[in-house]
Amino acid sequence: MNTTDTTRLALAEAWIAQDPDPETRVELAALVEGARAGDAEASAELADRFDSRLAFGTAGLRGAIAAGPNRMNRVLVSQAAAGLAAYLVEHAEPGASPSVVIGYDGRKNSDVFARDSAEIMAGAGVRAILLPRLLPTPVLAFAVRHLGVSAGVMVTASHNPPNDNGYKVYLGGEHHGSQIVAPADAEIAAHILHVAATSPVDRLPRAAFETAPESIVDEYVRQTAAVAVRPTTQPRVVYTALHGVGWETMSRVLEVAGFDGPALVEEQIDPDETFPTVSFPNPEEPGAMDLSFERAREVGADLVIANDPDADRLAIAIPDAAESHGYRRLTGNEVGLILGWQAAERAAAMVGDSGPNGALACSIVSSPGLEAIARAYDLDFESTLTGFKWISRAPGLVFGFEEALGYLVNPETVRDKDGISAALAFLSLTAELQSAGRTVADHLDEFIERFGCFASSQLSIRVTDLARIGEIMARLRAAPPTSVGGIRVERIEDLSDGFGDLPPSDVLRLVLDCGARVMVRPSGTEPKLKVYIDAVSDAGSVADRRAAASAAVDRLERGMRELTA
């Protein structure tokens, strides 16, 4: 056994000594025993867990639940809580006490991680408030602003695999309840590392925390219900929570807003940390909404609404006879453009002496159609880096979205994506259309008639060797293509040194003839390269525009597969 192995084993044994969780202590002890006995697999697993650490960045923490610094567990979460507490104390106004509100979803250990965080932060001198029970992420994001606290923590891994969990951080005050961005992320990370190096978590002081009153949830429900117009018709709706925490809150919002209860996908309506009916609890994944479509056929639904497990994302499906199961899930861009159009109409209805005001915002990889809407309604438009930590900070925001099923329809209530308020906004629009004898499909056609057809697609180039991603990006920079799929490239914009008002990001943007666009970036969470493709057509009939834009997307897809092979 070499020196590295010996050091790693010592680190593992020190970890076991401070770990309050018997499950992770036992499984790590078994790995240590195996490594000492010469088991190569056990040694490799220890190396994976102890040679690196889950990075605390602008997405907080997220990973599989197991022992070690490169996994999610009670030791790592305790260190994160202590580090965040130190940051809040350091940045508190003179004479003021920092405060935090903490929420959690229905995933494995979410409640345990949340209580550990509350006790440790209270022990560090931070006023710690725990939400009264498992609740959606948007309720936590709302509570940060509603309570006027210094920070918020949500324990969730959103739509990740079942054994994952995570730790998302929001800041109050001048940040208005948005997720952390630089430099706060690096400063918090430095405090966490200091705690990990100097303070075993079994010696961290703990203290009693507060439990938030139910009135916080009541107020979220009340303010969210205000997103809708009181319906004069009742669309037939199917709803699924995908084994997450969305339904209890969603049901209350629908009732207060005046909508009938939807038909439920009963197998998926209650929180279940094992996610038994889906291989991956993400409504974007193939098969995830099959039970929803089955239920929709049974009741003849006009609309299918799906939230992801922590209810910050929204998926929508509408009847479509061309689909084998009778329903088509709209893309994130389609939903975003429809909700953006609705928001622009409302902004125009509230016009003042100086004309419409406010901004529409989306991430750089989302549909350029939102900018066309903003121009048509004389609104400002903001294009941001991916993530609602950026979208939510757009000045004058009235609506924001990103193509990964995230929508912000009520920025004065929540400064994060909110799958519950977005669902209500879409349902309200569906009811208004139905009252006028129209459908969502009709409305999509009307959008194309007015703004053009914005078609989009996304490729995921998976790799086994992470170095391959860097090689592809370097090759595209060194030898930029002059055409993609036979469509001429007008220019390439490299965002690695920043671009305009955008901070530096490892993204290439290819601007092509006829308004087409290709974005290429490494995934921030998985071993893959992501390619986003957009094309637009505004010539001819609705059918002509769809055909032309789709054909351009298909050509660009084939071309990008060749370029990244």
- Give the residue numbers annotated as catalytic, written as ranges: 158
3-state SS, residue 522 = strand
- What is the rounded CA–CA span in Å between residue 288 and residue 229? 30
Neighbours of 410 (CB within 10 A): 22
Interaxial angle between packed helices 440-451 and 332-349, expressed in degrees from 0 to 180 and rounded to the nearest 10? 80
**Torsion, Cα of 372, 378, 384, 387 (10° steps):** -80
- On the 0-12 / 13-18 / 19+ scale of CB atoms within 10 A, 335 is buried
Helical (H) or strand (E) element with 484? strand 483-484
Residue 457 main-chain phi, psi, to 5 deg: -155, 165
Which residues does residue 164 pair with via DSSP β-bridges, in sequence order?
64
- What is the rounded CA–CA span in Å between residue 340 and residue 335? 8
Beta-strand relationship, 487-494 and 508-512: antiparallel
**Taking a C-beta distance cutoff of 8 angstroms, is the pair 89, 81 a contact?**
no
In 3D space, the residue among 521, 506, 508 whose CA is nearest the CA of residue 481 turns out to be 508
| DSSP conformational letter for 359 | E
- What is the rounded CA–CA span in Å between residue 194 and residue 188? 10
Residue 383 main-chain phi, psi, to 5 deg: -110, 125
